[in-house]
Chain A
Amino acid sequence: MQQHWKRLADGVELAVNQTEKFKTGLLTVTLTVPLREETASAFALVPEVLSRGSARYPDMEKLSAAADSLYGASLAPAVRQRGESQCVSFLCSAIDDRFALDGSAVLEPAAGLMGEILLNPCLEDGVFRRDYVEMEGANLADRIRGRMNDKRGWAMFRLLQEMCAGEAYAVDKLGSADRALAMTPEALWTAYRSLLSQARVTFIYGGGADPERVEDAVRRSFAPLLSGRSAPVDCLVKAEPDGPVRRVSDAMDVTQGKLALGFRTGGITMGSEDYPALLVCNALYGGSANSKLFVNVREKMSLCYYASSVLDKVKGLMAVSSGVEFSQFDRAQEAILDQLEAVKRGDFTRQELTAAGRNVSNSLRGRLDSQSQMEDNRLTFLLFHAAQGREELIRAVEAVTADQVVEAARRLKLDTVYRLTGKEG
C-alpha cells in the first residue's frame, strides 16, 4: 500500500491510499465546518436534499439508476462529528475497474456522479426544490427523534449532551428536529452556498487507481471546490470537570436500566505524548474482552449485561456504557468506579497489561483491512494534523509501561453520571 497526499489549494487536500487489496475503490469528499447550534441542522440537511436529485438526474429513481449502472456504486451522504467540527461527506464505493464485466472504467464516471450530485443540484426558482426540502426536513427530524429507539446509544448520547452542556461538542451533529422542520428552501440554499465556499475540503481515495488518475478525476468533477479557503478546525479540550460530579437521570418505559459515566482525560488527546498510555489504559479498564469491566463487573459479579468504555481521542473524553437491573444501579456504579480505582493503584497483572497493549495494536493494524475505517481514520488525522504515523503509534503502544498506564488513569476525572431508569408503576 502506498500513501500519497497533496494540497490542491488552501484548505483543499487529496489523500490517496493506493492498494489492490480490496475489490473496490472508495472515494469520499468531506466538507468540514465548525459545529454550531444555529447551522448544524441546515448543514446536516444539505446532503440529504442533494441526494434526492441533481439537475441531470432529478429524482432518486434516476439517480439510483445511474449508480446501478456503475455496478451498484454506493453513494451515501454522511454527517460525522470530529471534536467540535461537523463533517458533511459523500462516500462513493464502486468496484475496481478490474472486476467490471464489460472492462469499462468505473472510477471516472463514479467521481463524475458524485460531482454532479454535490455541485449541480436540482433547482426550482433558483433555490432547492420545496418538496425535497420539506420531506427531507421531516425525515431528518424523525431521525433525530428516533435516536431514543436505541436505548444503549441514547444513554450515551444523553450522557455526552449533559456532560458537555455549553460546549459546542454537545450540539447534535444532526441539529435539532425543530430547526429541520422549519427549514425553507431559501435558507437551505444560503447554507449550501456557504458550505461550498467556506468549508475545508478533504478528498480521500483508497483503491487500485494511481494518484495521478485520482487527482485528474477529482479536478475534473469537483472544479468549483478547488478554490482556496480557510475554515478553522478546532476543538475545546477541557482537562478537568468544571465542578462536582453531575448526576442526571431520565425515565422511560424500559425493562432494563442504562448507566453511563463520563470522564475527562486530563487533557490527553490523540496528539498528546500520553495518548498511547491512555489507549492501553482504556483497553485494560473497559475497552476489550479482557478488561476489568468485562471480566469483573460483567462476568464475575454479573452486575451488568454489558459494560465497556470508549475514548473520544479528539475531545479528550472517556465514557463507560452499561446495562443494569434497576435494583443494581448503585452497586453497578460502585463496582465500575472501583475497577478504575484498581487501575489507578496499579492493581493489574503483567498479563493484563500485555493483553491490553496487544488489543490496541491489533485493532490499529486491523483497521488497515477495512477501506471505510481507513478513510475514517485518515480524515481525523488530516483534520487534526496528527504527526504520529500508524506504525509509530503501534510501537509506542507496545512500549507502554505499567507506570504510564497508572499515570494516565490518575488523570481521568469523573464528570457526569447518567441513568436511564424505568417509569414508576
Chain B
Amino acid sequence: MDKLEYSALGQTVYHCVLPNGLRIYVDVRPEYSKQFAFFAARYGGMDLRFRGEDGEWLDTPAGVAHFLEHKTFDTEDGNALQSMAANGVDPNAFTSASMTGYFFDGVRCFEENLRTLLSFVSVPWFTAESVEKEQGIIAQEIRMCEDDPNDEAYYRLLEAMYTEHPIRTRVAGTVESISRITADTLYQCHRAFYRPGNMVLCAAGNIDPQRVADIAGEVLPAERSTAVDGVCCRQEPAQVGQRLTRRAMPVSMPLFALGFKGAPAEEGGALRQRLVAELTCDVLFSPSAPLYNRLYEQGLLNSSLGSFYSSVPGCAFIVAEGESRDPERVRDEVLREAARLGAEGVDQELWDRLKKSAYGSMVRHLNSMEDTCIEMAQTWFDGEDYLSFPQVFQSIERADGEALLREWFVESRTALSVISPEG
C-alpha cells in the first residue's frame, strides 16, 4: 500500500486501489482503543435514474437507496446486526442524498467484524416477505420525520429551490413510493451500485493496513468494475423554483431554512469550493459575524442559528437554519449584507481570523475516526483528498468569498422555508 504522510496534521494514511476497483484508505492510530470501518457506495436518495447493465436507463421509486440500506443487513442465515452484536459491536448505516455508508466500531475482533461488514454489504439477500415487512417499518420512520419540524423545513426548502434535480426528493421516499419497491428493485439497484468500483472502504484505529486490503480482496468479488454511469436529470435552472414556502406545525417559535442556490464545483475544485463556501457562511452567520450579532441583538435570531454548505453531483447550495420571530426579515437582512460585502469587500482581519478558526475546527474534527473516515470517503467520491485541506486553505483569498457572495446571495437564487406555530 502507499503510505501518505500528512506531517502538518500528524496523520499517516495508507492507500490502495484493489484490482476489482475498490479504493481503500486506512488511517493508522496506535493510541486509539477502538477500530472503525466505513464501507460506502456512491449511491443515495437522489440516484433515482441510472443506466442498467444492458445500457438502458432505469427509473426507480423514491427511497430505494435508503430501503436497500435497511435490507442490506439481512443475510441468508439471519441478520448481520445480530451476528456482529454477538461481538459487542453495533453496526449502523446511513443514507444521504448521494451516499450510502455502513460502519461499525469496536474494540475487539476487528478482522472478523470487517469480514462480516464486507460480506453482508456485498452479498444481497431479499425476499418478498422481508420487503413487505420493512415497508411497515420505514413507513413509520417516514412519518416520524414528517413530525420533525427541522426535517420538514429542510425538505420543503429543497423542493422550493430545485425544480429538476433529484436532490429535491426525500431520501427515505414517501409511504406511497416505497410501497412500489419489490425484492427485484433491490437486487437491481444492489447490482448497479454496490460494486467495488463504485465503493470506497475507509478504516481507522490501531490496525494493520495491509490486512484490511487482504481481507477486502478475499471477501469481495474479484472482477473489475467501475463507477456507475452518471445520474440523469434535465437541466436545472440557476434560479430557485419558488422563493417562499410555509407550513404550520406544533412548534413554539417559527423555524426557518434559508437556502442559496450555488453552482456545482468545477472538476478538481470541490474541496476548495467547500472551504470557500463554509468561510462565506462564517462571514455572515458565525458568532464573529457583524450581521449575526446585529440580528441577535435585535432579537431576530438566537443561538440556534446554524449554517452549512452541501454539494452532490450536479448541485451545490448553502443553507442557514434556525428560529426567528420574523424569518422574512432575516432573509432580507442577509441579502442586503451580502450585497454590501460583495461590493465593498470583507474586512481582511475578520477573514484571516475566520480562516484560522476554520482550520482549527477541521483539525479538531480529526479527533474523531468516524468523521475522518466519512470525510475521506465523501471527498474521494469527488475525486479529491480530504487531508490536503491545509494546502487548500493557503490558496483561498478573501476575493473568493466575495465572488461567491455576489453570485449566490441574490434574490433569484434564494428560497425561504418557514414552519410557523399553529393557530
Contacts and interface: CB of A to CB of B under 8 A. Distances in A.
A24 interface: yes
A355 B363 contact: no
B322 to A, nearest CB: 11
Contacts of B107: 361-362, 365-366
Interface in A69-84: 69-74
Which secondary structure dominates chain A's binding surface? helix
Contact of A64 (B91, B141, B150, B288): B288
Given A23-B366, A365-B33, A254 B147 contact: yes
Nearest to B350: A65
A72 B82 contact: no
Interface string B279-306: 0000000111110010011010011000
Interface stretch (B51-59, B214-222, B237-245, B352-360): B352-360
A238 interface: no
A377 interface: no
A366 B357 CA distance: 28
A68 B303 CA distance: 17
Nearest to B30: A21
Interface string B252-288: 1101000000000000000000000000000000111
Contact of A369 (B141, B148, B299, B369): B369
Interface string A254-286: 111000000000000000000000000000000
A74 B288 CA distance: 12
A165 interface: no
B288 A65 contact: yes
Contact of A368 (B33, B136, B350): B33
A138 B10 contact: no
Interface residues of A, number: 68
B133 A138 contact: no
Given A148-B252, A365-B34, A95 B422 contact: no
Interface stretch (A28-36, A181-189, A213-221, A287-295): A287-295
Interface string B31-58: 1111000000000000000000000000
Contacts of A347: none
Nearest to B362: A72
Contacts of B108: 358, 362
B418 to A, nearest CB: 15
B149 interface: yes
A305 B144 contact: yes
Q: Which 7 A-B pairs have the closest CB atoms?
A: A358-B88, A71-B360, A290-B85, A72-B357, A72-B360, A305-B140, A68-B357
16 contacts: A19-B31, A23-B9, A24-B364, A60-B293, A61-B288, A65-B353, A71-B356, A74-B364, A146-B252, A148-B250, A252-B250, A253-B422, A354-B86, A358-B86, A362-B106, A366-B105
